[in-house]
């Protein structure tokens, strides 16, 4: 089984738990808690090694995760999920599992994820306008992730799934170039 298939299985299982009506943990809170643990893991090479190496007994790994979970004030659901990852030697896949989990939850809640590249940092008003435009175009609620790409010259490019909305100056120049060469 590929790593992405494994990550999808764990992500779907956690999504089943947190999207259930009786769940005490919201999907947003689950993501925040998992990201907090991931950050702690990323910041400590010793912790990474201890949780990944088979030389450390599972009981000791669980104890470490439990203590970190207490310090980070993780919910019971999140701690139990991390214990399952430890028990099945999947803690090294945590970053990919979280990414898959966010996608699964967004799909279940009717959100589409948009990767937005812009030439410069967008203001709150520009982000709001872009969000409203993308929601109108797709008919879905949008969760946007932003990155800067100075090569765009100006404007922005939004990717939602396999669809690209190119409002960049570079894209407009490319379109103009294609039109001019087609007419020549």
CA–CA separation, 78 and 76 (whole Å): 6
* pLDDT tens-digit readout, 138-176: 888 998 999 998 888 888 889 988 888 888 888 888 888
Domain residue ranges in the chain: 3-107, 111-183
Q: What is the pLDDT of residue 87?
A: 95
* % residues pLDDT > 70 (the chain): 98
**Integer angstrom CA distances of residue 21 from 15, 25, 30, 98, 133:** 12, 10, 15, 21, 32
Asked whether 138 and 111 are in contact (CB, 8 A), the reply is: no
| CATH code of the region 3-107 | 1.10.520
Task: Kindly calculate the radius of gyration of the chain based on its CA atoms and give it in whole angstroms.
Answer: 21
* pLDDT tens-digit readout, 26-64: 999 999 999 999 999 999 999 999 999 999 999 999 999
Cα dihedral sign, 104-105-107-113? negative
CATH 3.40.30, domain 111-183, yes or no: yes
Q: What is the mean pLDDT of residues 9-13?
A: 94
């Amino acid at each position: 089984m590929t790593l992405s298939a494994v990550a999808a299985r764990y992500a779907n299982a956690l999504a089943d738990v947190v999207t259930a009506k009786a769940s005490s943990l919201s999907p947003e809170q689950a993501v925040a808690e998992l990201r907090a643990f991931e950050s702690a893991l990323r910041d400590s090479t010793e912790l990474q090694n201890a949780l990944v190496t088979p030389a450390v007994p599972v009981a000791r790994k669980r104890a470490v995760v439990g203590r970190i979970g207490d310090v980070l004030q993780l919910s019971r659901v999140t701690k139990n999920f991390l214990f399952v990852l430890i028990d099945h030697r999947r803690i090294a896949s945590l970053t990919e599992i979280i990414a898959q989990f966010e996608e699964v939850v967004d799909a279940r809640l009717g959100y589409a994820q948009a990767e937005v590249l812009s030439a410069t940092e967008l203001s709150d008003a520009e982000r709001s306008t872009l969000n409203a435009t993308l929601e109108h175009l797709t008919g879905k609620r949008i969760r946007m992730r932003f990155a800067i790409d100075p090569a765009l010259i100006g404007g922005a490019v939004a990717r939602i799934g396999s669809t690209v909305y190119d409002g960049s100056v570079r894209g407009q120049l490319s379109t103009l170039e294609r039109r001019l060469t087609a007419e020549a």
